Amino acid sequence: MFQDSNSTPPTVGLFVTCLVDLFRPAVGFASIKLLEEAGCQIEVPDTQTCCGQPAFNAGHREEAVTIARQVIAAFEPFDYVVAPSGSCAATIRRHYPELLADDPKWSSRAEAVASKTYELTSFLTDVRSLAGVKVELPEKTIAIYHDSCSGLRELGVKTQPRSLLGTIENLELKEMEEPEVCCGFGGTFCTKYPAISEVIVSAKTKDIDATGADLLLAGDMGCLMNMAGRLRREGRRTEVRHVVEILSGMTEAPPIAGRQEDQS
C-alpha cells in the first residue's frame, strides 16, 4: 500500500523523459512545481535513462529489457513514479510487466513499479485529488488540447488535463473537431514512414487552425514537437506548449518551435 496521507508527503520519483531532458527542460521544472504544490516530496534519480520505448517499438526486445531493468531499479524506492508523458508512463505501466513476465527475478518488481506509475495530470487528479490550479493568464487566451495516442488509449488520460485547465483564469478551452486523432509522430513511425506522417500532421494542423485557438496544448513532447514544427513551417500563428507549463504558470520559455522574440 502506497504512502499517501496529508501528514506525510508521498515520495515521487520524477521520470523526466528523454525529450524533456534534451529539448524542453522547462517542462521538468514545471512538473516539479506542480507536484510540490500537490503536497509531494520530489526526487529525480540521476541514474534514470530512456524508458526503452524506441527499442521496444522497433522490435529490439533484448535492449528494451535491459533498459526496463535499469529504470525499475532506479524507481523502486519511491511511493509513486510520475512522468510528464503519456507514452513513457504507458511504457512503464503497460509494457514492462509484459517484457519481464517470464523473468522470475524481475517480473514482480516490474509489476510493482508499473502499478505506481502515472502520467502527471492523471496523478494530480486521480491520486492527489487536485481540483484545480491557481493560475491566471495575463490576457484572454483560447486553448485546445490534443490527446496523445498512448496517454488516451493506454492510460485513459482524457478528462484529467481538461478539468485542471478549466480552472485557469482567462483561459477558454475549446475542442478540435478530432482531438483524439494521431498527430503523425508515432515515435519511430515518423522516421520510417515520413511521407505518411506528413499527411497525418498536415490534417492535424488544419484542424488546429480551424479552431482559431491561440494555444495548442498536449502532454507528450513528441506530439508537441511534431505539431509545432509543422505549424511553424506552414506559417500558422498558434503557439504550442506542454500542458504542465500552463498549469504551473511557468511560461517564461518561448513556445515550442518558437523564438524568444515570439514572446514579445
pLDDT tens per residue, range 127-168:
999 999 999 999 999 999 999 999 999 999 999 999 999 999
- 207 shares a domain with 122: no
Q: Is residue 146 assigned to a domain? A: yes
Instruction: Please name the residue that has the C-alpha cell 491561440.
Output: 214
Of 80, 100, 127, which residue sits at a domain end?
127
Contact indicator for 222, 238 with CB cutoff of 8 Å? no
**Residue 5 predicted with pLDDT over 60:** no
Residues 147 and 234 in one domain: yes
pLDDT tier, 7 (very low <50, low <70, confident <90, very high otherwise): low
Q: Are residues 142 and 258 in the same domain?
A: yes
Is 26 within the bounds of a domain?
A: yes
Query: In this model, does residue 238 exceed pLDDT 80?
Result: yes
Query: Given this model, what pLDDT does residue 104 score?
Result: 95
* Alpha carbon distance 146, 215 (integer Å): 11
Q: Are residues 98 and 176 in the same domain?
A: no
Angle of the 107-115 helix axis to the 61-75 helix axis, nearest 10: 60
Residue that finishes a domain, picked among 77, 107, 127? 127
In this predicted structure, what is the pLDDT of residue 163? 98
Neighbours of 47 (CB within 10 A): 9
Residue-level pLDDT at 195: 95
**What is the average per-residue pLDDT within 22-47?**
97
Same domain, 48 and 93: yes
Residue 83 has pLDDT above 50, yes or no: yes
| Among the listed residues 175, 174, 177, the one whose alpha carbon sits nearest the alpha carbon of residue 206 | 177
On whether both 142 and 60 belong to a single domain, the answer is no
Q: Is the pLDDT of residue 179 over 60?
A: yes
pLDDT score for 198: 95
CA distance 44 to 209: 37
Q: Are residues 63 and 177 in the same domain?
A: no
Please give the helix or strand (H or E) that residue 117 lies within, else none. strand 117-119
Whole-model pTM: value is 0.93
Same-domain check for residues 111 and 155: no
Q: Which domain holds residue 96?
A: 11-127
Mean pLDDT for 239-253 is: 97
Are 83 and 197 part of one and the same domain?
no
Please, which pLDDT band fits residue 262 given cuts at 50, 70 and 90?
low
Contact between 172 and 140 under an 8 Å Cβ cutoff? The reply is yes
147 with 211, same domain: the answer is yes
pLDDT single digits (tens) 202-226: 999 999 999 999 999 999 999 999 9
Distance of alpha carbon 147 from alpha carbon 18, whole angstroms: 20
Task: Supply the pLDDT for residue 1.
Answer: 26
Cell 516539479 sits on residue: 32
pLDDT mean over 61-67: 97
- The predicted model gives 55-64 an average pLDDT of 94
pLDDT score for 33: 98
Number of structural domains (the chain) is: 2
Domain membership of residue 257 (yes or no) is yes
When the pLDDT of each residue in the chain is averaged and rounded to a whole number, the result is 94
Q: Which of 61, 96, 127 is the last residue of a domain?
A: 127
In a domain, 2, yes or no: no
CATH number, position 220: 3.40.50.11810
Please tell me whether residues 15 and 108 are part of one structural domain. yes
Task: Decide if 3 is inside a domain.
Answer: no
Average pLDDT on 220-235 reads 96
Query: Which ranges in 24-116 belong to alpha helices (H)?
Result: 25-37, 53-57, 61-75, 86-90, 96-99, 107-115
Give the pLDDT band (50/70/90) at residue 264: very low
Residues 87 and 183 in one domain: no
